[in-house]
Structures are given as C-alpha cells and as structure tokens.
Amino acid sequence: MEVNVGEKAPLFTLRAHDKSAVSLESFAGRKVVLVFFPLAFSSVCTTELCSIRDELKQYNDLNAVVLAISTDSLYALRKFREIHDYNFLLLSDYNKEVSRCYGALHEDYSLDMKGVTKRAVFVIDAKGVVKHKEILEDPSKLPNFDRVKDTLTSLAIKS
C-alpha cells in the first residue's frame, strides 16, 4: 500500500519519545510534515533531523507541525532527541504499521535488517490531504526540503 498526492492521509496514533500517544487526527486544521527516517543515531538521519531542528521556525511560520517517524523504539528516540536537542516530536513506529501504510518501509534493509523505515517526507494540508510526497529508496539521500517548504508556502497562499 502507498499513499499518493491528492489522497486523504491515513490516520494513525503512535507513541512519542516521551511515551505519550500522538495521533495525526489531533493536528486537524494544521499543516503537517511527516518525516520518515531510517535509524536514530545514524549520520544521515542525524544530519537530516538537525537541519529540521535548525529550521523549525520556518515550518512554524508556515503553520506546520513536524512529526518525525522511525521504527526505532521510543526509548532510543528519547535519547536521540535528548542528545541533539530536537524541538519536535519523534514517533516510534516500532510495529511498522504506519511506515508500511505510507509506502515508506524497507522490508529488507541492509546488513540483514528487516522492516526499517525508508527516508521519506509527506506534506499534509489542513484538511488532511497529502499535497507532497517524496520516498527515497537510497537511505544516503536526503529529501528536497526546499520543495517541502515551497509546498507549505503555496498552501498558505491558497488558504
């Protein structure tokens, strides 16, 4: 299964780094940037999330909330967030259901690891419709976050 631009974003509830339950539905009326990342503490994921942390004001100014999702445990995510001072929610898709639903799961990753989140980004508008998606097969590549911000800007103009 894979979510496409123009479709309603599948709703979900996941546990955050602080053990709280976070549902996509709770952000109704706001734009959401879903950032799927493979592995906490890996160099590319750290670079990616640190750049989001450093640019979070731009997302906030566009009335967007950032949710970062991986198949890491919430305990690993808590430490990852603490060490790098991330200022947005890290959600654990430990059971791989949300990553699979969004088409963002490597069933077979490298080093014999199975069920690792792909690097991907989705922009969901205030009505819950996917307006942008980028799923990368190569985990060493980063999504085009300029395009994400352009999408968010265009949504701000339309509303």
The reply to whether 154 falls in a domain is yes
The pLDDT value given to residue 114: 73
Q: Which domain holds residue 130?
A: 13-158
Confidence (pTM): 0.94
Mean pLDDT of the chain: 93
Residue 6 in domain: no
Residue 23 inside a domain? The answer is yes
CATH number at residue 130: 3.40.30.10
- HSE (side-chain half, CA atoms, 13 Å) at 38: 24
Q: Which residue of the set 22, 45, 104, 120 is catalytic?
A: 45
Residue 101 annotated as catalytic? no
Give the pLDDT confidence score for residue 112 in this predicted structure.
Answer: 66
* C-alpha distances in Å from residue 43, one per residue of 15, 46, 131, 141: 24, 5, 29, 11
Task: Tell me, yes or no, whether 8 lies in a domain.
Answer: no
In a domain, 64, yes or no: yes
Work out the pLDDT band at 2, boundaries 50, 70, 90. confident
Structure tokens, 135: 């799923």
Flag whether 1 is in a domain.
no
Beta bridge partners of 70: 92
Task: Report the distance separating Cα 37 and Cα 140, nearest Å.
Answer: 11
Task: Give 92's pLDDT tier (boundaries 50, 70, 90).
Answer: very high
Question: What HEC string does 75-125 produce?
Answer: HHHHHHHHHHCCCCEEEECCCCHHHHHCCCEEEECCCCCEEEECEEEEEEC
Q: Is residue 5 part of a domain?
A: no
Give the count of domains, the chain.
1
Q: Please check whether residue 2 lies inside any domain of the structure.
A: no
- For residue 140, pLDDT beyond 60: yes
Asked which of 10-24, 84-98, 111-125 is least confident by mean pLDDT, the reply is: 111-125
Nearest to 120 by CA among 108, 98, 95, 137: 137
* Total residue count of the chain as it appears in this document: 159
